[in-house]
Amino acid sequence: MQTSRSLELLKRMDWLLFGAMVLMAAGSVAFIYSASYRGEGQPMPDFYRTQMVWFGVGLVLYVAMALIDYRLICQGAVIWYVLAAGLLLFVLIAGTRVHGSKSWFGWRGYGVQPAEFAKLAVIVAISYYLFHRTPEQRRGWATVLGGLTLVVVPALLILVQPDLGSAMVLIPICFGLMFVAGVKVKHLVLVVALGACLLPVVWLKLKPYQKDRLTVFLHPNRDPLGAGWNLNQSLIAVGSGGFSGKGYLQGTQNLLGYLPRTVAPNDFLFSVIGEEKGFVGSACVVGLYAVILFSGLRIAANARDRLGTLLATGVVAMLFFHVFINIGMTIGLMPITGLPLPLLSYGGSFVLATMTALGLLQNIWIHRRVY
Amino acid sequence: MIITAPYRDRNPRLAIIVGIVSSGLLLLLLALWHVQVMRGGHYDIRGDAQSLRRIRIPSARGEIVDRNGVVLANNRPSYDIAIYLDQLKRESKRQRIYSVAQASVGALSVKLGLPYTLSEASVTNHYYKRRPIPMPVWRDLKPETVAAFAERASTQPGADLIVMPVRQYPQGALAAHLLGFVAKAQQTGGDDEDVERFYYYQPDSVGKQGVELACDEYLRGAPGGKTIRVSPSGNLVEDLGEKKAERGCRVTLTIDASYQRIAEEALARAPLEGKELRGAVVVLDVRTGEVLASVSAPAFDPNIFNPGTPPPVITGIFNNPASPMLNRSIGAKYAPGSTFKTITLLAGLEAGMIAPSDTWECKGSLQIGNRVFKCHGTHGVVDAMKAIRESCDVWFYQEGMKMGADVIARMAGQFGFGQSTGIDVGRDVTGFVPSPAWKRMERGERWWPADTAQLSIGQSDLLVTPLQLACAAAQFATGGVRMRPCVVKKIHTISGEIVHDAVPEVAGRLNVRAQNLEFVRRAMLGAVNESDGTAHRAAVPGLSVAGKTGTAEYDVRIEGQTRRFNRAWFMGFAPYDKPQIAVAVMLEDARSGGGVAAPVAGEIFARMFQKKRSATGDSGVYAD
């Protein structure tokens, strides 16, 4: 592909979406800095610098992803899917155990979580699968079962790591795609009902800490010094931010370590923002996500073909689920799961996966049909 | 931008996705509005509540000074070496706090050459309950140890020299019983309100006896407070502000330290002939009731009641059979013996039942009923004047039985016996005046004439305190007015504001004819100044002292055997014409009042008035 042609294509990208992403990245670095700040003269962890590196690498992936025609990428859907499943299997054998989960490939302190890329592979695989079914087939049971099968394999592999949150993300992706692809609502409802019947079985299979998180969600004050600690401290942090916040680097909950330092830069970064920037800051974050999500949906609606629509919907479903669960959990609306906040939370794999996904959105937008 | 219209028509479900995303984001916004704006204040308070701690800072106790400003009690710095457990723990995170503390204290111990004891319980307790507060390891160090710490160990992390105020009594045991002592208040002993208000409660010293106890409220001052912010593990993060503790009030006593010293020295020089010194002296200003000196022997050094004293020393004092902690001038009661004859005489004269000219022959004893009562001498023909002067028991047996017990008991009441003197410091015992009615009610026995005879010479069941007797002496001195004795003259706040100013208060008046009172006074003058007076050894050249001695026999059963003690007394006043001071001297175990108590009083009168003369250059009028 020629450079001039690439530039030509890049000029066509959705600059609003790009702008929102850059703002998010800047905010991410700034608040990861704040989340690891411990006061003057105290040693400063390198998280914010590392995150900058990830955004740099992510930008390369983003551009590459935007330029290679998505239809070409989807030609290899089977390869991506098998590769992702293979990595998930391999990480169970050769991965590094971090906080009790075997979900990382570690190298010199840097880690890669295959589950994050598996999400993308699943989006591509299901979209490609549904794209190749005829409208009649999509109204039959076979398509539903096919889509579910594609999800169940990686979901189970992620679940045994165990990483309940990431496994759960696959469900809205799958249902969102099937819904938009035209699967009968009746079928989807039936599947959900069956899944609900399986919930007690899932409950029995949950690890004790996962059960704790769920019971804490239902009764936040039952064990405020134990399982409820993170939730309570996060609530205090976000709540005490008030309307306009305590100011940058002034969040005492975070500064004093009430909001545990191990989770503040990643899963609970939103609590830091909420405390230091108040409702104004929170609303800005939600607003920027709105820009990204609605841009994604606009791209889905304007895609050249159904494949583009499905891919974009899958990306939107994934990001929305992350945003809703993560922000919801910081204020007790959702149970605590280790789902990071797209583009904000510290963590290489998810930054790269998110930027790849956004690159894919730009790709669909660039290759849309313009009349 | 143009939307691909035909394609979009085939996907109405995309609009539903838009709806789901929109409502999800809106729900988040509403929830955030609720948490941050509606309930923000609530979470703000919860955040502060979990990170803010209040520490109570004890105040320095106020000074106690004598009437001339001589310091009797103040505070000195105690240099303690303390360890900061939170800092130590930060240095070595992985170890148990006790081993960390032990290592640190052990290193200090080697550097300073001090032995140490450190219990695991106290360390862990301090670590979990009082973490940001330094934990003292060695208290009240010598200057050379402080210097050694500064030189060799001050750079050791987590250890520091802290200065705490400690109560000190610069005059040592002087007026110890009157001043009292202090002890660290138990945490539960403080005001409950304070304990609740402060997360870390550092107790004050609390007065335990004497002026320290009576004026505790004034001396204590107002505690300060400090607000700190702590991390989740309870470590100090920052100081947010401090309210300085306010020093307690300055209490000025009526005591004159130099008179107190004179009285203590005089009592210590009592010619006891090898007997153990146990006694009391009270010196009053007769015009105001102010206590100028108050001695109780044996005494104790209130300085030992500080945290540095080993506990056995303190229990030793409390268990000492001579009871050094007992304030004998107000806290113990004794038979007044012959000093009481002055009151018996006044009672009889006032009742009109006896006359000064009544005479009886003393043959050394008197048989009453089927018992023989002895006199301490054979006085021959005795009249009232001689009976007081030479303290003839037989004369008083006879006269007492003539007037009856009730007449005597009533007069004793007029002198304040059997009642509290109302002294402002300490709790004085009331003593006891027996009467026929009491004996019938309490013991179910008849009151025999022999009981009256005994009462008339100050024995029977009659009991008084040295302070009561001093007040009685003052009452003779003033011509009948008894002032309420007081020890606290003034109380100033630290800014100089007067919060208490003692006003002389009349506690009682004698309802007697002046000529009768004057007769008894003259008899007392004779007892001291005539060469055959029993109180002659209290006489001071150039000073007209009036007084009366007493020697009361008192049986005490010790280990199954009855031992007889002589309570030796002197009570009197001077100068006779323009009385200024009244003195009572009591020794629990001495040969006689005239032989032991009178010389003590004599020395007190002589040295006090000599001091006054040299101080004022005049004829010995007491200078206020």
What backbone phi and psi angles, to 5 degrees, belong to B150?
-60, -35
**Does residue B235 sit at the A interface (CB-CB below 8 Å)?**
no
Q: What angle do CA A203, A207, A213 make, to 5 degrees?
A: 80
Q: Is residue A221 part of a domain?
A: yes
> What is the DSSP secondary-structure string of B454-472?
HHHTT-TT-BB-HHHHHHH
Interchain pair B229, A289: CB under 8 A: no
Predicted local confidence at residue B8, as pLDDT? 47
Q: Would you state the pLDDT for residue B623?
A: 41
Question: Residue A313 has what pLDDT?
Answer: 95
pLDDT interval class at B402 (50, 70, 90): very high
A162 preceded by cis ω (within 30°)?
yes
Give domain status of residue A4, yes or no. no
Q: Average pLDDT, stretch A104-126?
A: 83
A59-68, B39-48, B276-285: range with lowest mean pLDDT: B39-48
Confidence bin at A109 (pLDDT 50/70/90): low
> Is pLDDT above 80 for B199?
no
pTM of the model: 0.69
Q: Is residue A306 part of a domain?
A: yes
In a domain, A1, yes or no: no
Question: Does the pLDDT at position B3 exceed 60?
Answer: no
Strands A110-112 and A101-107 come out as: antiparallel
Question: Which of B8, B27, B43 is the mutation pick for testing A, counting most A CBs within 10 A?
Answer: B43
Q: Is A215 contained in some domain?
A: yes
Predicted confidence (pLDDT) at residue B618 exceeds the cutoff of 60? no
All residues of chain A having their beta carbon less than 8 Å from the beta carbon of residue B9 are none
Kindly tell me if the per-residue pLDDT of A251 is higher than 80: yes
In a domain, A28, yes or no: no
Cis, peptide link before residue B575, omega less than 30° from 0? yes
Judged by phi (left if over 0) then psi (alpha if -120 to 50, else beta), residue B417 lies in beta
Cβ burial, residue A1 (10 Å; 0-12/13-18/19+): exposed
Q: What is the pLDDT of residues B477-509, one digit of tens each?
A: 999 999 999 999 999 998 889 999 999 999 999
The H or E element containing residue B387 is helix B384-389
In a domain, A29, yes or no: no
Domain positions in chain B? 76-169, 257-616
Instruction: Name chain B contacts of A285, Cβ cutoff 8 Å.
Output: none
pLDDT tens by residue, A307-352: 999 999 999 999 999 999 999 999 988 888 888 999 999 988 999 9
Condensed to tens digits (0 to 9), the pLDDT of residues A7-29 reads 888 888 999 999 999 999 999 99
Q: Quote the strand ranges of B351-438, DSSP E.
A: 360-362, 365-368, 371-374, 380-382
The C-alpha of A358 sits at a distance from chain B's nearest C-alpha, in angstroms, of 17
Encoded amino acid at A126, one letter: I
Q: Are strands B250-253 and B64-65 parallel, antiparallel or unpaired?
A: parallel
pLDDT at A223 over 70: no
Chain B residues inside the 8 Å CB shell of A179: 13, 16-17
The pLDDT of residue B556 is 80
DSSP B538: G
Q: Is A184 among the domain residues?
A: yes
DSSP A154-194: HHHHHHTTT-HHHHHHHHHHHHHHHHHHT--HHHHHHHHHH
User: Nearest-CA distance from B124 to chain A in Å?
Assistant: 20
What is the per-residue pLDDT for B103?
85
Could you give the percent of chain B with pLDDT greater than 70? 93
Among A109-123, A221-235, B155-169, B381-395, the range of highest mean pLDDT: B381-395
> Which residues in chain A have Cβ-Cβ distances shorter than 8 Å to B50?
236, 258
Cβ pair B461, B432 in contact under 8 A: yes
Mean pLDDT of A83-94: 90
How confident is residue B1, by pLDDT bands cut at 50, 70 and 90? very low
**Are B415 and B388 within 8 A, CB to CB?**
no
Contact B36 A294 (CB under 8 A): no
Stretch B103-127: mean pLDDT: 85
Using CB atoms and an 8 Å cut-off, which of residues 240-279 of chain A contact chain B?
Answer: 240-243, 252-253, 256-258, 274, 278-279
Q: Which range of residues forms the domain containing residue A182?
A: 70-338
Angle (CA) A80 A86 A88, round 5°: 105
CATH for B257-616, among 3.40.710.10, 1.10.630.10, 3.20.20.140, 3.40.50.740?
3.40.710.10
Q: How many structural domains does chain A have? A: 1
pLDDT at B622: 44
Q: Residue A218 — very low, low, confident or very high, per pLDDT cuts 50/70/90?
A: low
pLDDT at B201: 62
Q: Where are the alpha helices (DSSP H) in chain A?
A: 3-11, 15-36, 47-67, 70-75, 77-94, 114-131, 135-138, 141-159, 164-181, 185-205, 208-218, 229-240, 252-255, 269-301, 306-330, 348-366
Rounded to a whole number, what is the distance in Å from the CA of A99 to chain B's nearest CA?
Answer: 19
pLDDT in tens, B561-607: 888 889 999 999 999 999 999 999 999 999 899 999 999 999 999 99
**CB-CB neighbours of B2 under 10 Å:** 8
Summarize the confidence of residues B138-153 as an average pLDDT: 82
More confident site: B410 or B222: B410
The Cα–Cα gap between B312 and B305 comes to 12
